Amino acid sequence: MRGVLDVLCECHRRSFAYGDVKPANFLVCPDCDSAGGVSVRAVDFGCSRPVPLTQPCGSPLFMAPEMAGRRFGTAVDVWAAGVMLHILLVGRPPFWSNKSAEEAARLPAYAIVAATRTHDISYPRSDWGRLSREARQLVEAMLTRDPAARITAGDALAHPWFDRALGFSPARAAAAATAAQAEGERGAAAAAEAAIDGVVTFGQARVAAAACA
């Protein structure tokens, strides 16, 4: 997640919004010069625009509520990253505690937009009770409905959650994912595949993020 926010900070420093923050648009790549030996790279800058933006952009599930208006800025990226972090931590998007991200993404766009503008996000103990207070605080700050009050990408990077979660090295995070997935043949096979080819799927990243939170 820190790599995603690094990308957003650089875009925002140049007065650009990335415009389409979602898991599919970020790649984890080997990088010997980076801490931990990996780096996060963004792909598909087709929705990137200078701010202020005047047209909605991105995938409906990750669109900020202010996109229903006429002008919006870089805060839309932070909201989308908050949705991404929410999914990483609990396996479901905000507003739909009974749906997976894949199921919610198939909802009509108008239903998704209406939910982001009018529904409150719930944080059931069954999901969040096992996570740290800092993890929830960061998600809440990134998913603040008022864009003026929403945390910036730079301030999100400085959030105490990263001191806790990213104290895990990539090797320790991978070990956490392996341990969490060890039950059942599917988890064991996924862990073995990750160990062989070095590629981490979004599902494995979600398990590791939750384990570190």
Q: If you average pLDDT over every residue of the chain, what do you get?
A: 81
Quick one: 117 and 199 in the same domain?
no
Domain count, the chain: 2
CB 120 within 8 A of CB 128: no
- pLDDT(152) > 90: yes
- pLDDT(5) > 90: yes
Quick one: 146 and 74 in the same domain?
yes
Quick one: 150 and 208 in the same domain?
no
Quick one: 143 and 180 in the same domain?
no
- pLDDT(187) > 70: no
Quick one: 116 and 196 in the same domain?
no
Instruction: Write a three-state SS string for 36-53.
Output: HHEEEEECCCCCCEECCE
Which 3 state secondary structure label does DSSP give 28?
A: strand
Region at 24 (left for phi over 0; alpha for psi -120 to 50; beta for the rest): alpha
Confidence of residue 154 (pLDDT cuts 50, 70, 90): very high
- pLDDT(31) > 90: no
Q: How many CB atoms lie within 10 A of CB 69?
A: 12
Of the candidates 20, 31, 155, 197, the residue annotated as catalytic is: 20
Residues 78, 66: Cα–Cα separation, whole Å? 12
Which 3 state secondary structure label does DSSP give 29?
A: strand
Quick one: 155 and 175 in the same domain?
no
| Domain limits for position 77 | 2-162
Confidence of residue 100 (pLDDT cuts 50, 70, 90): confident
- Which pLDDT belongs to residue 192? 38
> Active-site residue 20, yes or no?
yes
Quick one: 126 and 188 in the same domain?
no
- Which pLDDT belongs to residue 135? 95
Quick one: 188 and 134 in the same domain?
no
Q: What is the pLDDT of residues 157-184, one digit of tens each?
A: 999 998 876 555 454 455 545 544 444 4
